[in-house]
Structures are given as C-alpha cells and as structure tokens.
Amino acid sequence: MKLSINNLSKTYPNGVQALKNVSLEIPTGMFGLLGPNGAGKSTLMRILATLQEADSGTATLGDIDVLKDKDSVRRVLGYLPQEFGVYPRMSALNMLDHFATLKGIAGSERKELVHTLLHRVNLWDHRKKAVSSYSGGMRQRFGIAQALIGDPKLIIVDEPTAGLDPGERNRFYNLLSEIGENVIVILSTHIVDDVHELCSNMAIINLGEVVFTGAPSSALQTLDGKIWQKVITKAEIENYNQEYKVISSKLVAGKPIIHILSEEEPGEGFQPAAPGLEDVFFSKIMA
C-alpha cells in the first residue's frame, strides 16, 4: 500500500496559507514529516485523517480516494492527534474498551483486543489507573494503543514525542518502529532526532511547502563537503552571521560552535564537519 498526495493546498479563513501544493509519495514503513512549528504538519495530518477539508489537490491510499471516501479511510486509519484529550478518572482499560466499541468491535473479540493492546504498549500493569493520571510517556503509549484498534493500514502520529523525557522517548521509539514494519506510519515532528533514529523516508516541510523528500541518508549526502565548523566566542556570533551562511550554533562547554554552509573551503580556521540531519533541517528551512 502507498499513500500518494498530490498538490494539496489549504488556506485558513484568516488568510494563512498552511499548505501550498504539497505532493508526497509515502510507502510502507516509518515516514518522518519534519518541520518547525507552524510549518503545516498538523494541518496535513488532519486532512489525511479526514478531520479537515483541503481546498484543492488529491490524496489516494491504495485505491481509496482519501479526500472523498472518508468512511473507507477511517476503517483503515489509526490517528494520534497532537492534542490527545482523555476522559477524567476513566481507567485505561475502560477507555480503550470504549474506543474499541466506537470502532464497532464487539463482544469477546473486543475484550481480547483491549488486553492484547495493553500488553503491547506495556500498560497492562497500569490498566486500572486513570489515563489522566499517567505520565507523558504512558499517555502517548496509551494513544498508540487506541490508534492500533481495528488493525489500521495507515497510522498517523502528530508530534508524539514532544514533552517526553529521554527514557520515555526511547520506549516510544521502540514501540513505533515495531509497528512501522508492515503499515504506513507517518510521524510528524519538529525533533530532528525522531526522524534520524526511526524513519527510512522523510520530508521536510516549511511554511506549507515541501522543501526536501528522500531518505535521511540522501539528505545528508546533499550537504557532503559543504558543512564547516568553528569554535568562536559569543561576541563574534553577530559578525559571523553577517559574513557566512551560519546554519546552526551550539554551545559546547559554554563555547559556541557554529556550522556554516559553504561550497568552497572558507579558510579562517574553519574545519570540515560531517553533516548531521540537523544541518539538513536548518539549511532547508533557511533556504
């Protein structure tokens, strides 16, 4: 199965053009949609999840017309929205059972599914606790459990790792990468590491436009030999910003290390640096 998105555009009533002719081919596996806040990621995710209308363009999932045949999409979709609301005081077990009921799963099959999912996301021991009392990581794992109801072929998770601590993030990565083996998983995120660690294919989106698509490794190749680094002082940052194409500056042991983009060797004490996905991200969104 493949998701094909063609020339999708969306302008909000306030005039913000959130998506501008977005076209993407998304195969089975983990697909990273990377972009800064306001890039249009959630808008695209909501349109694909049939919760919002596009102004123009098309999207097909296998032979399903995603924009027209919403019921068919919903039957094969699992969605974890950016803001995932939960009922206060309801236990994970009861809430998951409730979601499964809404998806039309009945009787003993439902009970079995709910139990399987709670084990799968490692929440079985916490099944009787209120989801509203869960930590961020547990809540997101619960969110994945509800997204997996009904054996979806397309799973959309919108900024799932924002606010998780490193341990929680790792557990969440492991869960997602298991799931991503047989279905399409679209992971929207502004966190470069999410994509680097998990995704075989990716796109970078900025101001509603796709600015890169491909494998993370090919993204890195586009910058091969063009990234240069130098340790400078804080007072020098402004000068360097004016003189060079500075794509990032990171403090290491209190000193700024800048990365610049340059086709030629810049001299002036710059050293060649291996490009990271962060360099790709910042160079694409600054271009």
Ligand X SMILES: Nc1ncnc2c1ncn2[C@@H]1O[C@H](COP(=O)(O)OP(=O)(O)O)[C@@H](O)[C@H]1O
Could you say which of Mg ion, ligand X, none residue 233 binds, taking C-beta under 5 to 8 angstroms by partner kind?
none
Closest to ligand X by CB, 38 vs 266, is: 38
Q: HEC states along 114-176?
A: HHHHHHHCCCHHHCCCEHHHCCHHHHHHHHHHHHCCCCCCEEEEECCCCCCCHHHHHHHHHHH
Nearer to ligand X, 14 or 108 (CB): 14
Please give the DSSP secondary-structure letter assigned to residue 107: H
One residue of 43, 161, 206, 283 binding ligand X per CB under 6 A: 43
The sheet with strand 255-261 has its strands ordered as: 246-252, 255-261, 227-231, 271-272
**In the complex, least distance from residue 193 CB atom to ligand X, rounded to whole angstroms:** 17
Kindly list the residues in this chain that would bind Mg ion in the complex (CB under 5 A): 41-42, 82
- Contact between 171 and 137 under an 8 Å Cβ cutoff? The reply is yes
Distance (Å, whole) CA 257 – CA 270: 10
Residue 87 site contact among Mg ion, ligand X, none (CB < 5 to 8 Å, cut-off depends on kind): none
| Residue 169: both structure tokens together | 């993030």
Distance of alpha carbon 198 from the chain centroid: 10
Q: Give least dist CB 180 to ligand X, A.
A: 21
| Degrees, nearest 5: CA angle 19-24-27 | 140
| Minimum CB distance to Mg ion smaller for 34 or for 64 | 34
Q: Pick what 39 binds: ligand X, Mg ion, none; C-beta below 5 to 8 Å, kind-dependent.
A: ligand X
Q: β-pairing, 255-261 with 246-252?
A: antiparallel
Interface of this chain with ligand X, residues 52 to 91, rule: CB under 6 A: none
Minimum distance between the CB of residue 19 and ligand X, rounded to whole angstroms?
8
CA–CA distance, 280 with 163 (Å, rounded to integer): 23
Residue with smaller CB distance to Mg ion, 42 or 248:
42
Query: Least distance (Å) from Mg ion to the CB of residue 82?
Result: 5
Residue closest to Mg ion, measured at CB = 42
Nearer to ligand X, 38 or 150 (CB): 38
Q: Which of residues 12-41 bind ligand X (CB under 6 A)?
A: 12, 14, 16, 18, 35, 37-41
| Residue 40 binds which of Mg ion, ligand X, none (CB < 5-8 A, kind-dependent) | ligand X
Smaller CB separation from Mg ion, 114 or 156: 156
Size of the site for ligand X (CB under 6 A): 12
Which of 8, 34, 42, 49 is close enough to bind ligand X by CB under 6 A?
A: 42
Distance between CA atoms of 118 and 116, rounded to whole angstroms? 6
Task: Give the nearest distance from C-beta 47 to Mg ion in angstroms.
Answer: 13
Shortest distance in whole angstroms from residue 273 CB to ligand X: 28
Contact status: 206 vs ligand X (CB under 6 A): no
Start-to-end Cα distance in the chain: 33
| Among the listed residues 181, 154, 159, the one whose alpha carbon sits nearest the alpha carbon of residue 172 | 159
- Shortest gap between Cβ of 47 and ligand X (angstroms)? 10
Least Cα distance to 185 among 204, 196, 198 occurs for 198
What is the contact surface with ligand X in residues (CB under 6 A)? Answer: 12, 14, 16, 18, 35, 37-43
